[in-house]
């Protein structure tokens, strides 16, 4: 990488850090925009549900279909529900859902705020005595932090149902038996790191999406750039946050 590109990358990271500090400061200031926060929760949560439902179900289905022959080879097919449950709850569910959310929510925020910037709507808000950081950014970031973990739990549940369906394509296992076997291998401690890291995934997606949109350039071209770079950077940061979370979990032997 050329020195100029390295310099731009680190400037970007520093700016995101400063932007995050501003978001935190505005979050704890007075006049929280509660109505807009609820509206954003609906936009982020409800409108992503169908996409997450399809992805979650297919994730469980595919994982089961691909794992089954190997487990049969080792005579461990009874371990299938437990193995799938642990991998979906600890890793597959959170990461795949977060990556889907980075694409859907991150690009949406980048494009929406980017077009608001280009068409002077953010400035119009500012001269209407409304703090755009508080109204547009804080509400979106907090909504993403709340909705992404819920979407992940929803994807986990549908992933397990998909897994049960997958197990029944070539086998025959009842719903009750499948879930009994699955949850016999899952402890509360399997949920905890996954839920904690999913809050960070939500924060990363919200902050990057808003940062890219809020700092879009002047032309219409910059809206596309903002949406695109929001997805790329948010996806990359989701993977990095996941790596850090795994290291922490491993250190704490969770």
Interface with another protein includes 76 (CB under 8 A)? Answer: no
Contact 226, 208 (CB under 8 A): no
Q: 18 vs 124, which CB is nearer to another protein?
A: 124
Q: Which of 200, 183, 182 is nearest to 240 (CA)?
A: 200
Least separation in angstroms between CB 14 and another protein: 19
Interface with another protein includes 52 (CB under 8 A)? Answer: no
Report d(CA 178, CA 211) in Å as an integer. 44
Q: 125 vs 165, which CB is nearer to another protein?
A: 125
CA distances from 199 to 47, 90, 123, 175, 205 (A): 19, 14, 30, 31, 10
Least separation in angstroms between CB 131 and another protein: 8
Alpha helices in 28-138 (DSSP H): 34-41, 47-73, 80-87, 93-101, 107-118, 121-127, 132
Interface with another protein includes 130 (CB under 8 A)? Answer: yes
Given 13, 18, 21, 124, the residue binding another protein (CB under 8 A): 124
Q: 80 vs 210, which CB is nearer to another protein?
A: 210
Given 103, 126, 157, 249, the residue binding another protein (CB under 8 A): 126
Q: How many beta carbons lie within 10 A of that of residue 133, not counting itself?
A: 20
Interface with another protein includes 123 (CB under 8 A)? Answer: yes
Least separation in angstroms between CB 13 and another protein: 22
Give, rounded to a whole angstrom, the gap between the first and last alpha carbons of the chain: 38
Report d(CA 229, CA 50) in Å as an integer. 24
Interface with another protein includes 174 (CB under 8 A)? Answer: no
Interacting span for another protein (CB under 8 A) from 122-130, 154-162, 223-231, 242-250: 122-130
Least separation in angstroms between CB 159 and another protein: 33
Interface with another protein includes 116 (CB under 8 A)? Answer: yes
């Amino acid at each position: 990488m050329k020195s100029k590109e390295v310099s731009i990358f680190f400037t970007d990271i520093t700016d995101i850090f400063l932007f995050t500090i501003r978001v935190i400061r505005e979050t704890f200031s007075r006049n929280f925009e509660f109505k807009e926060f609820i509206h954003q929760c609906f936009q982020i949560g409800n409108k992503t549900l169908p996409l997450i439902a399809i992805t979650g179900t297919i994730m469980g289905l595919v994982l089961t279909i691909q794992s089954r022959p190997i487990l049969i080879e080792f005579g461990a097919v009874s371990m299938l529900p437990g193995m799938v449950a642990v991998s979906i709850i600890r890793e597959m569910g959170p990461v795949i859902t977060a990556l889907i959310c980075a694409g859907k929510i991150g690009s949406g925020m980048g494009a929406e705020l980017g077009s608001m910037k280009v068409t002077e709507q953010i400035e119009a808000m500012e001269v209407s005595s409304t703090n755009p950081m508080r109204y547009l950014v804080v509400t979106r970031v907090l909504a993403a932090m709340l909705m992404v973990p819920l979407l992940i739990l929803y994807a986990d549940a549908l992933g397990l149902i998909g897994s049960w369906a997958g197990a029944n394509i070539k086998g025959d296992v009842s719903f009750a038996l499948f879930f009994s076997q699955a949850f016999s291998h899952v402890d509360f401690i399997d949920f905890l790191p996954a839920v904690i890291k999913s809050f960070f995934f939500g924060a990363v997606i919200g902050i990057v999406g808003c940062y890219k949109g809020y700092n879009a350039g002047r032309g219409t071209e910059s809206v596309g750039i903002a949406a695109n770079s929001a997805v790329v950077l948010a996806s990359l940061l989701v993977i990095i946050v996941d790596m850090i979370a795994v290291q922490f979990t491993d250190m704490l032997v969770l």
